Structure 1
Amino acid sequence: MTPEAPIALSLGDPAGIGPEIIAEAWVQRDRTAPPRGAPHPFFVVGGPEVLRAAIAARGLDCPLVPIAEPAEALFAFSAGLPVMAGLDAPYTPGRPSEAGSKLALASLSYAARFALGGVAAALVTAPIAKAELAAVGFTTPGQTEFLADACRLPYRDAVMMLAGPSLRTVPLTVHCALSEVPALLTSDLIAHKARIVAAGLARDFGIARPRLAIAGLNPHAGEGGRFGDEEARVIEPAIRTLQGEGFAVVGPVPGDALFTSRLRATYDAALCMYHDQALIPLKALEFDEGVNVTLGLPIIRTSPDHGTAFDIAGRGVADPGAMCAAIRMAAECARVRAAA
């Protein structure tokens, strides 16, 4: 993998907003550029007819440039949005279909191969509809787990981090019922994922000694055991283990204080006990620039931190900010990783 290679974009569900915000990201490509840098060339894996229809529906000035190999995107990018042909489906915004789901899965599969093969500097995935994909053979809970499989890693080694300009959060448990969270949390799980987060912040974000804040599970971090014993029984032992290994870790921090502006300045990432504890503050503060980053993989993967938005697809109102931010972050991470 080299930073000179282009970034691969998977199309996502073609009935969602993915195609139009990808095209808009090329139109607004200056927003995808890292600070003091030029936009990093990117290309889309499949869907030229879908993209053409989405561009027309949105009224964009976005020429499409067919390419046969990823490297061609480096030369084509200035003339238009490079697209690899061969995979396509009808454009039916707001109405997911079997053909569209097959296109989304094929696009993701090939884009992952390009990243793993080093001919793409990074992978940016547009939103998918998991239920629709399951009907055409998608067997993993989500794209993060799909990529862990592609990299031949266990799911727990692929760690989801949500990142914006002022906050990074990591949910230690993800898509499960809230009632299941206490049983899923272990000291080993917390310590294992914290190590991956620290390594990822160093490797892809250039933070030499990452500072991690670990949230409590219960109100007031348990209030000394009055509101639950998970802090003393599970979370604090993990923190002591990590501190003994030399990591800069604090906690357990009460969830109602962890995301104040004063505390946000004291850590590089907050490790949260469950999905909404991590995603609510990120989306409240950074919705239009929130990026889903997968740490722990040999490849760089980012994604907009939102879904397919079938209800507004094709109406020309979807904001491309998170897609631009995901492309920009992928380029920045590729540059940092290559320079190490």
Structure 2
Amino acid sequence: MQTIKPIIGITMGDAAGVGPEIILKSFEHNLVHESSRAFVIGDASILERAKGFTGSTKSINRISHPSEAKFERETIDCLDLNLLSEDLPVGQVSPEAGNAAFQYLAKAISLANAKEIDAICTAPLNKEALQKGGHMYPGHTEILAELTGTKDFSMMLSAPNLKVIHVTTHVGIIDAINMITPERVLHVIQLAHDTLTKAGIENPKIAVCGINPHAGENGLFGYGEEEEKVIPAVEKAKAAGIDVQGPLPADTLFFRTVRGDFDIVVAMYHDQGHAPVKVLGLEAGVNITVGLPIIRTSVDHGTAFDIAGTGKADEKSLVEALRQAVELAPKK
């Protein structure tokens, strides 16, 4: 039986950034057409403008519902919300673009909740513009959680030879340490195990970072955070049959994981997990929100206002995000 290609909704993100350009460039890749039925949720006029930045010759097909999409190689279907003027300044923080980025995502979530698309793939938004546009969220992940009614979720970053899942993300370091609890750490370990198992990795090997340097080194660093917050979770996960080790020193753990010792790392806070992935290359990383009732993948880079409008932005992360959206989408 032939598998039906999944329908992927690509949100434009912040239209003043590189999102429109990397979307146009992505549709030049055979992978996008051969593995999925992808269309854009955004502003068609902005895509038309971005053709001048990238040299794309694709025609833009304005649609009002996914059922109207053509899914043809020389056409890019755009569910046109018509929120922005085509003279929107490029490379600048804009409340209008921030609001539009939110509306694109809200529309995608509505379609996914209604099973009219199989997965969402997001181009980057700008947090300052988002909040100036009236939407007080730290980023995509928190919007997705609220609009799907999800309370327990986590951010997973995926790059070649390295997957990282986070206990906390977009909060300050002091707040992050306060938010780390044995219950939260255990839940993220379970999310890591379940996600990789569904992806076909039997009995995945999971490593858990310490909070302090050298994972506290038996109380030498910190105030017993590992003993209070991490060790009880690891012990419960082991008792449940999960192959997990930790807390381990973060300064060597990521090297060991890239070497092949582990399948995924549980990071305690944003920079602990993000920095090693981004060292491997911004074009290689993909952001996946784990724990949602819908599939969402994203580029792991920002709006790159400094090069927006130049056509220089690299689309490889978006192509990889699309590929992983296809892999994770329900099979039909």
- The TM-score by the shorter chain falls in which range? over 0.9
Residue 209 of structure 2 is aligned to residue 215 of structure 1: yes
Q: When the two structures are aligned, how many residues end up with a matched partner?
A: 327
Q: Tell me, yes or no, if structure 1 residue 153 matches structure 2 residue 154.
A: no
1:281 and 2:276 correspond: yes
The Cα of 1:262 is off from its aligned counterpart by 6.2
Which amino acid in the other structure matches residue 30 of structure 1? N
Q: Which amino acid aligns with 2:38?
A: F
- The Cα offsets for residues 89-141 of structure 1, whole Å up to 9 and x where unpaired, read as 13421123233223222211111111111111100111111221223331332
Whole-angstrom distance in 2 between the partners of 1:288 and 1:5:
24
Q: Which amino acid aligns with 2:24?
A: A
Tell me, what secondary structure is at the counterpart of 1:120? coil
1:52 corresponding residue in structure 2: 48
Tell me, which stretches of 5 or more residues in structure 2 are unaligned?
A: none
Cα distance in 2 for partners of 1:184, 1:302 equals: 25
Is 1:113 matched with 2:114?
A: no
C-alpha displacement at 1:80, in angstroms? 1.3
Cα distance in structure 2, aligned partners of 1:175 and 1:237: 24
* Cα 1:262/1:147, change in 2 over 3 Å: closer
**Where in structure 2 are the equivalents of 1:11-160 lying within 5 Å?**
11-27=12-28, 29-32=29-32, 38-73=34-69, 75-90=70-85, 91-154=88-151, 157-160=152-155
Shift of 1:298: 1.0
What CA RMSD, in Å, does the superposition of the two structures yield over aligned residues? 1.9
Rounded Cα–Cα distance in structure 1 between residues aligned with 2:95 and 2:211? 40
The CA distance in 2 between the partners of 1:218 and 1:202, in whole Å, is: 29
TM-score (norm. length: structure 1):
0.90
| SS at 1:298 equivalent | coil
Stretch deviating more after TM superposition (221-230 or 273-282): 221-230
Contact 2:97 2:133 in 1 (8 A): no
Q: Identity over the aligned pairs, expressed in percent?
A: 36
SS of match in other structure, 1:258: helix
**Aligned in 2, Cα 1:208/1:3: closer, same or farther, shift over 3 Å?**
farther
Q: Spell out, residue by residue over 1:160-206, the C-alpha distance to the aligned partner (whole angstroms, 9 max, x if none).
A: 00001211011212122223333222111100121122222223x22
Amino acid aligned to 1:222? G
Contact 2:155 2:165 in 1 (8 A): yes
Q: In the alignment, what sits opposite 2:162?
A: 167
Q: Show the counterpart of 2:193.
A: 198
The structure richer in helix per residue is 1
Displacement of 1:3? 5.5
Is 1:291 aligned to residue 282 of structure 2? no
Mean Cα deviation higher: 87-96 or 211-220 = 87-96
Per the TM alignment, residue 55 of structure 1 is displaced from its structure 2 partner at its CA by: 1.2
Q: Cα distance, 1:304 vs. partner?
A: 0.2
- The answer as to whether partners of 2:5 and 2:35 remain within 8 angstroms in 1 is no
2:241 — aligned with what?
Answer: 246
* Rounded Cα–Cα distance in structure 1 between residues aligned with 2:257 and 2:138: 36
Q: Distance in 2 between matches of 1:145 and 1:308?
A: 18
User: Matches of 1:222 and 1:268 in 2, distance apart?
Assistant: 23
**1:265-296 deviation line (CA, Å, top 9, x unaligned):** 12221001111110111000142110000011
Write out per-residue CA displacement over residues 25-60 of structure 1, whole angstroms, 9 at most, x where no aligned residue: 001x22547xxxx23121011210001101112222
Counterparts of 1:161 and 1:233, CA distance in 2: 24
Taking structure 2 as the reference length, the TM-score comes to 0.92
Structure 1 residues 42 and 321: CA distance shift in structure 2, 3 A = same
Q: Secondary structure at the match of 2:217?
A: helix
